[in-house]
Amino acid sequence: MAERVVDRHNEYLRIEGVSKRFGDFVAVDNVSLSIYKGEIFCLLGGSGCGKTTLLRMLAGFETPTSGRILIDGQDMAGIPPYERPVNMMFQSYALFPHMTVTQNVAFGLEQEGVDKHEIRRRVDDMLSIVKLGDFAKRKPHQLSGGQRQRVALARALVKKPKLLLLDEPLGALDKKLREHTQFELINLQEQLGVTFVVVTHDQEEAMTLASRIGVMNKGQIVQVGTPTDIYEFPNSRFVADFIGSVNMFEGKLIEDEPAYVRIGCPELETSVFVSHGISAPPDAQVTVAIRPEKIEMSRTAPASRDENHVTGVVKEIAYMGDLSIYLVRLPSGRLVRVTMPNVERHDERIVWDETVHLSWHPSSPVVLIQ
């Protein structure tokens, strides 16, 4: 999707050096972040990386051990969840099972003491926005998973929060529904202009939803950037490996010029030529990362075979329909992952045990130092 423009002058949520310890365990380690008004910010990381703890601190369910959280300039220290201008959509949705859809959505407004007619109007509006008008009288157990998800969303959004926190919003939905709901979420967010902070372990979900992604590992934010930044320019081995699939080769700098670098990798027959400079100490141990879709595979040798080129034998093929994944064994024994789109239906496709040439453009590899 097209990258959305984020107004960087309108900082809405500010996290300053926030840490959270449970006994000896550091769940969140000195995180600082700025989130801007109207963006969808995704906290992405594996289980136990601290993303949910961070979200729960924003909601007020956990208190930071140190650091500050400011929402719209207001320090949140000591403010209980029920007084924060923030609403959360829970992973399990946490719908009240004894209340109808309408009662669930109206709950938050009743707590605010909003006038009855006003509640009715806002609840009806919200239910029609999430297309649940026909289900208003049902109880949660009479709804499908997708409908429950929309009730949870409506219940959180009807309060017009400054910040909507979403904990794995699509986690409980099946694949088809997820894709559909993903775009619905983005539309809703644009329509209502609420700032979203989404926690997810699913990189696809993060990539499609987010205006920016913060990748978390072991309680720390390791990289913040747009989905494209994160995918094309990962700043560490962890990020490169966590987002998408990648082939990584250990190597040493042979030439280090401002305009280009050349890297020797023991696992590859030729050296890797990268068409941009890097900042690394000479003789540094580096990692070359190449995405599977950026490797070209063919039966015939490319024109230039001195660099960015290897030969190998196809060992595995996984046909995915739209594309195929190939595992190619190099003479060094290393397996390289290559993906190719299945453009034509009656292609003379490469088959098992064929010898192939792999090559890539000098701008494709990413050189990682940490």
Partner 1 sequence: MRRSFLSTVKSWSQPRNLVIGVPYLWLLAFFAIPFVIVLKISFSWMQPIQPGYAPLIEWVEETRRLVVSFNFDNYQVLIRESLYVDTFLYSAKVAAVSTFWCLLIGYPMAYAIARSKPSTRNLLLMLIILPFWTSFLLRVYAWVGLLKTNGVINNTLLAMGLIDEPLTLLYTDFAVYVGIVYSYLPFMILPLYSNLEKHDLTLLEAAADLGAGPFKAFFKVTLPLSMPGIVAGCLLVFIPAVGEFVIPSLLGRTDQLMIGTVLSAQFFGARNWPVASAVAIGLLLVLLLPILLFQRYQQRELEASRR
For 97, other C-beta atoms within 10 Å of its C-beta total 9
Per rule CB under 8 A, is residue 78 in the interface with partner 1?
no
Per rule CB under 8 A, is residue 90 in the interface with partner 1?
yes
Q: How far is the CB of 278 from partner 1 (least distance, A)?
A: 46
Q: What single-letter amino acid sits at 218?
A: K
Kindly indicate which of the ranges 69-77, 96-104, 216-224, 281-289 contains the residues binding partner 1, using the contact rule CB under 8 A.
96-104
Coil, strand or helix at 119: helix
Q: How far is the CB of 114 from partner 1 (least distance, A)?
A: 10
Helices (H), the chain: 51-59, 101-112, 116-129, 145-157, 175-192, 203-209, 227-232, 237-242
Q: How far is the CB of 94 from partner 1 (least distance, A)?
A: 4
Order across the sheet with 86-89: list the strands.
Answer: 86-89, 163-167, 195-200, 40-44, 212-217, 220-225
Closer to partner 1 by CB, 55 or 338: give it.
Answer: 55
Applying the rule CB under 8 A, the residues between 164 and 193 that interact with partner 1 are: none
Length of the chain: 370
Instruction: Output the CA torsion 44→172→88→130 (10° steps).
Output: 120
Burial (Cβ within 10 Å: 0-12, 13-18, ≥19) of residue 51? buried
Q: Which residue has the tokens 């996984």?
A: 318
> Is the distance from CB of 215 to CB of 184 less than 8 angstroms?
no
Q: How far is the CB of 187 from partner 1 (least distance, A)?
A: 24
Closer to partner 1 by CB, 197 or 368: give it.
Answer: 197
Applying the rule CB under 8 A, the residues between 327 and 346 that interact with partner 1 are: none
Tokens, residue 80:
């209980």
How many chain residues are in contact with partner 1, going by CB under 8 A?
Answer: 26
Q: Which residue has the tokens 């792999």?
A: 358
DSSP string across 284-297: -EEEEEE-GGG-EE
Q: How far is the CB of 242 from partner 1 (least distance, A)?
A: 28
- Here's the x/- map for partner 1, 33-72, by CB under 8 A: it reads as --------------------------xxx-----------
Residue from 52, 53, 87, 208 that binds partner 1 (CB under 8 A)? 87
Per rule CB under 8 A, is residue 108 in the interface with partner 1?
yes
Residue from 27, 40, 71, 88 that binds partner 1 (CB under 8 A)? 88
Q: How far is the CB of 72 from partner 1 (least distance, A)?
A: 17
Looking at the DSSP assignment, which residues form a beta bridge with residue 43?
A: 199, 214
Per rule CB under 8 A, is residue 102 in the interface with partner 1?
no
Greatest CA separation found in the chain?
A: 76
Residue from 20, 37, 159, 291 that binds partner 1 (CB under 8 A)? 159
Q: How far is the CB of 28 from partner 1 (least distance, A)?
A: 18
Q: What single-letter amino acid sits at 35?
A: I
Tokens, residue 190:
């644009």
Residue from 6, 79, 94, 325 that binds partner 1 (CB under 8 A)? 94
Per rule CB under 8 A, is residue 294 in the interface with partner 1?
no
Applying the rule CB under 8 A, the residues between 109 and 148 that interact with partner 1 are: 111-112, 141-142
Closer to partner 1 by CB, 91 or 311: give it.
Answer: 91
Applying the rule CB under 8 A, the residues between 254 and 283 that interact with partner 1 are: none
Q: State the pairing for strand pair 195-200/11-22.
A: unpaired
Binding site for partner 1 (CB under 8 A): 59-61, 80-83, 86-88, 90, 92, 94-98, 107-108, 111-112, 141-142, 155-156, 159
